[in-house]
A and B are shown apart, each in its own frame.
Chain A
Amino acid sequence: MNHPRENNRQNAVTDSIFDHDHALPAPESPGDIPAELLRKTPLNLPNASELDVLRHYTRLSQKNFSIDTQFYPLGSCTMKYNPRIAHAMASLPGFARLHPETPAPAMQGLLQVLWELQEWLAAATGMAAVSLTPAAGAQGELAGVAMIRAYHHARGDTARHKMLIPTAAHGTNPASAQMAGFEVIEIPNLPDGDLDMEALDAHLGPDVAGIMLTNPSTLGVFERRIAEIARHVHAAGGLLYYDGANLNAILGRVQPGQMGFDVMHLNLHKTFATPHGGGGPGAGAVAVQERLKPFLPLPTVTKGESGALRWMTAEDAPRSIGQLSAHGGNIGVLLRAHAYIRRLGRVGVSRVSAYAALNANYLLKELQKLGYQAAFPERRASHEFILSVSDLQQATGIRALDVAKRLLDFGIHAPTIYFPQLVPECLLIEPTETESQATLDRFIAVMAQIREEALAHPELLREAPHHLPVGRLDEALAARKLDVAAALS
């Protein structure tokens, strides 16, 4: 065999008489590395057997907390269950190995999938057209507000420099609006969770570009006067932006387009079957009404008269806000979304929101019976709801953080805490559509025990978790004296 390294054979040291491929440079012949840079002592590598290494990593993997093993009331915000079939479809070699620069005639299969996904998402949202390219929710938001800006400017209306955003909004909303060059105006929420219409009306005018809303809102309740809000904003010449973060609550039931929204993004990684929450790739597809269609980010997929599919270019859409990713977006996430919708079908998709809302409302009622205080007791929950443990704080000093830490001892992931900031000592609980009643009942039983402990033995919560490899960490100290290198030394 004519091995390329054959010539170095003379100078090489092999670690085994059978090992012909792992020739190492001899110490006396270090190639072109300057002598003063060579190590004087051997590298301090761990010397463990393969079996020991295997056990070490297996043990580490068993410490993982995951939706595959335990309940995760953080919900679609972080990790709802994503059916395996979606991943299997995205992994098919015909998709996974396709080069992004493949000419369109040779990638009709992928283009068909993307085209269908565009059509389905447009139908599901009640919008006219969709672009799949934004690589995450925040990029989708930026694309959305950039389209609002482009729309006003295209009409010669350049005075609209304000974007209205409710106090309860996700933090990304004001960030996206600011990045797109808008001045952010906060609109307060009323004590019942709805938007303050008087404050809205006071700010509407010829300098307002639009409003960014999440519905149901981050307060876990449906904005009841959305039609009225849309009328007022439109009458003042503004547009409505829908943040798709809580789409899980209304999927297949209510369309943002029907509510009067002009533009929105969908977090395909949240709602449509891509594992996320660890900063992994996302997809923030944007959907728009007819009047914003010319401004959609490129490339979208279009069908020619012959039925052949191709990417749209700047020549087709000269008023597009441009391109947001090198190619057509995060294709793997888009393939999963397509497989998920295909698997569920139209009826199945609307069951997602029905069960998500049913599970949330069941938990809310049962936890209220235990004495937990709902932030909005008069309101029905959407797919999530907020409890406040201010009463426990007043009684024994127990905070939301302590409740969350104690949940870990029972093998349950903590829900979101301290968001939204409007509700003091809050827990934001989202069970999602895929949990059984048995799982929900166990969560309720654990929450009952934690409430008793909070009142009778608060120190048990204050020192939790007790049964995990790591106990209560000093998060304030960690943030004040940040030293990422310390862990390595």
Chain B
Amino acid sequence: MSKIPESLRYSDTHEWVEDLGGGRYRIGITDHAQELLGDLVYAEVPEVGKTVKAGTVCGVLESVKAAADLYAPIDGTVLERNEGLSDNPQWLNENPYGQGWIMVVSADAAAFDKLLDAAAYSAIEGV
């Protein structure tokens, strides 16, 4: 059983979103996603200032097993990205909800409210 913190919201493409307040949202991949991917070796994260669109590809994660697209869970504009990930992709495995965060975006509260809560995410098959 993977870790699914109660305080976060989720997408069915296995990203988590944290409400930082003031229309700012932090995004990462879930524990389940990192477990499926295995040892991450490369992360390509959108640049600051880029707009991302919910459900569309915004980056690439590469593990020893697979190259996977990173989907934006929510419409928004990238405010910050985790610069340490390029040299330390293992953070995504070791601490997907902490040090392995991917980016912070500015987005609409209404869009955030539409995301899955922990109970709904954990109901997805296999998670």
Q: Which residues of A contact B (CB under 8 A)?
A: 399, 417-418, 421, 424, 475-476, 479-480
Contacts and interface: CB of A to CB of B under 8 A. Distances in A.
A389 B91 CA distance: 26
A475 B66 contact: no
Contact of A480 (B65, B89, B126): B89
Sort A-B residue pairs by CB-CB distance and give the 6 closest, nearest first: A476-B39, A479-B41, A418-B65, A475-B64, A480-B41, A421-B66
Nearest to B40: A476
B77 interface: no
A476 B65 contact: no
15 contacts: A418-B38, A421-B65, A421-B66, A421-B68, A424-B36, A424-B126, A475-B64, A476-B40, A476-B41, A476-B64, A476-B90, A479-B41, A479-B42, A480-B42, A480-B89
Interface residues of B, number: 14
Nearest to A476: B39
Interface of B: 36, 38-42, 62, 64-66, 68, 89-90, 126
Contacts of A418: 38, 65-66
Contacts of B41: 476, 479-480
Contacts of B65: 417-418, 421
A476 B39 CA distance: 6
Contact of A475 (B39, B42, B68): B39
A418 B41 CA distance: 16
A60 B38 CA distance: 33
Nearest to A424: B36
B86 to A, nearest CB: 10
Query: Helix, strand, loop or mixed for chain B's interface?
Result: loop
A444 B121 CA distance: 40
Nearest to A482: B41
B64 A479 contact: yes
B55 to A, nearest CB: 12
Given A421-B68, A475-B39, A476-B64, 10 more contacts: A399-B38, A417-B65, A418-B38, A418-B65, A418-B66, A476-B39, A479-B41, A480-B42, A480-B89, A480-B90
Contacts of B64: 475-476, 479
Contacts of B42: 479-480
Contacts of A424: 36, 126
A475 B41 CA distance: 9
Nearest to A421: B66
B89 to A, nearest CB: 6
A476 B65 CA distance: 10
A285 B55 CA distance: 37
Nearest to B36: A424
A429 B65 CA distance: 17
Nearest to B89: A480
Contacts of B90: 476, 480
A417 B65 CA distance: 8
Contacts of B39: 475-476
Contacts of B89: 480
Which of A417, A424, A476 is packed against the most chain B CB atoms within 10 Å? A476
Contacts of A479: 41-42, 62, 64
A461 B68 CA distance: 27
B95 to A, nearest CB: 16
Nearest to A191: B125
Contacts of A399: 38
Nearest to B87: A480
A194 B111 CA distance: 34
A199 to B, nearest CB: 15
A417 B63 CA distance: 13
A462 to B, nearest CB: 14
A352 to B, nearest CB: 31
Contacts of B38: 399, 418
Nearest to B41: A479
A123 to B, nearest CB: 39
B33 to A, nearest CB: 12
B64 to A, nearest CB: 5
